[in-house]
Every structure is written in C-alpha cells, then in structure tokens.
Amino acid sequence: MAFEGFQLSRVDVGEVTLRVRHGGSGPPLLLLHGYPETHMMWSRVADDLARDFTVIAPDLRGYGESTAPATTPDHETYSKRAMGRDALALMKHFGFDRFNLAGHDRGGRVAYRLALDHPEVLLKLS
C-alpha cells in the first residue's frame, strides 16, 4: 500500500499552502516531484524510504492540491527559486534545518536551485 503510515497535511509556507505527505523515521529526506506530477509519483518508493528516513513529499506550488499563486509578468511566483523557498520553509516547519534532498524533473531543477542558494542546509542532493 502506498504511503502506509504517512500523514497527509497542509502546511502554510508563506505565499502558498502545500499539501504534503510525511512519515517514517530517521534523517530527513525531502522528495520533490516532476512535471506534470504530484507527490504521488513517489508512491512506489516512499514506504521503502520511510524505513530509513523521515520522508516529506509535498505537491509543489501550483500542482495537485497545493495552492497556486497568481502569475506575474516575470514569472517569479513559479520560479525554481520561489519553489526552493517553499521547500526551506516546509522543512523548517517540520523542525529540520538540514536535510537530504531528491528531485525528479522539475523537482530536480528546484533542488539544484536550492543547492546553489542554500548549500548549508543540504546533507545530500540527488
């Protein structure tokens, strides 16, 4: 069963509210999905990862059931940097100042941007 033992929450991270599944125990691992998916893309691996990690899998802003801010002419509200800020705020909400990060597709690009802007928060990046 996908996400067995995980909780489903909505977390306000400033500009948006993210829908997020979280569960497991161990070092924190943030999973960022790709386009045009949601956190559900991690359903086949989340339970296995949760044996060794505290897994946090949100829907990125504007995806799934996370809220969608209005667009702007410069597209800043949907930039990788804005989504990286969401990720930082989400992890702080759960009490993690440092964490492991894995991203796929668009989530991978958000992960790279976060790594460039805030390398001090990452334990590992994949």
What is the domain extent for residue 113? Answer: 7-125
Q: Mind listing the pLDDT tens digit for each residue in 39-64? A: 999 999 999 999 999 999 999 999 99
Task: Give CA–CA dist 13/116, Å, rounded.
Answer: 20
pTM of the entire predicted model: 0.97
Give how many domains the chain has, as a whole number.
Answer: 1
Residue 2 lies in a domain: no
The enclosing domain of 101 has a CATH number of 3.40.50.1820
- The first and second tokens of residue 114, run together, are 């976060």
What's the pLDDT score for residue 117? 98
What's the pLDDT score for residue 51? 98
Is the predicted pLDDT of residue 1 greater than 80, yes or no?
A: no
Residue 59 lies in a domain: yes
Nearest to 16 by CA among 52, 70, 55: 70
Q: Mind listing the pLDDT tens digit for each residue in 2-41? A: 999 999 999 999 999 999 999 999 999 999 999 999 999 9
Radius of gyration, alpha carbons of the chain: 13
Residue 88 lies in a domain: yes
**50 Cβ contact list (under 8 Å, min separation 6):** 5, 6, 23, 24, 25
